[in-house]
Homo-oligomer: A and B are copies of this chain.
């Protein structure tokens, strides 16, 4: 396993623009805390739902150790790893927080969040602090609707390479950015 990158310097980012990072569908790390427990899980099933308030929907299966931490604390942080963290992403997704402290196991740095009790994963390119907005579909679908209440994004690189899970142990890497701004109606940008 390669060493995680150093902690990137970050700046505040407008919460209504987080689609810039999440709409492309990357695998993310979800960090949580409740009472004396904390955990990190990988997540690939998520979608942007609204600009303002900044809403995200995601599936957190009941079998995950994080499920109860998030359901009870009603908070989490969604962290965006880049391709340099792929080994940590895979490792985190293949062990249980009931058995290990994943920050320690994977050499990741918990940093205090501004608005929620869950820690940020310092090594990630971006961190989105979330508060539960609507829990009505948790019982039927394990579907959580969060509001992003604070966003932190690394200053560089401008176009980080992210990883996108396909199932079966395979990831697509996205990084090359192409612009088609000239083809858009201005109100749609």
Contact = CB atoms under 8 A, between A and B. Distances in A.
Interface of A: 17, 19-21, 23-26, 44-50, 55, 57-59, 86-87, 90-91, 93-94, 137, 141, 143, 145, 159, 162-185, 188-189
A181 B189 contact: no
A172 B183 contact: no
How many copies of the chain does the oligomer comprise?
2
B166 A177 contact: yes
A189 B185 CA distance: 42
Nearest to A25: B25
Contacts of A143: 49, 57
A189 B166 contact: no
17 contacts: A17-B167, A19-B44, A19-B167, A23-B166, A24-B165, A25-B164, A45-B47, A47-B59, A49-B143, A57-B143, A90-B183, A90-B184, A93-B184, A94-B184, A141-B145, A159-B172, A171-B180
Instruction: Find the residue from A20, A164, A188 having the highest chain B CB count within 10 A.
Output: A164
A169 B181 contact: yes
Nearest to A83: B178
Given A45-B49, A47-B59, A24 B172 contact: yes
Nearest to A58: B47
A26 B23 contact: no
A44 B48 CA distance: 8
Given A45-B49, A91-B183, 18 more contacts: A19-B167, A20-B166, A20-B167, A21-B166, A23-B45, A25-B25, A44-B48, A45-B48, A46-B47, A47-B59, A48-B59, A49-B59, A49-B143, A90-B183, A163-B178, A167-B189, A169-B180, A170-B180
A174 B173 contact: yes
Contact of A168 (B24, B25, B185, B189): B189
Contacts of A57: 47, 57, 143
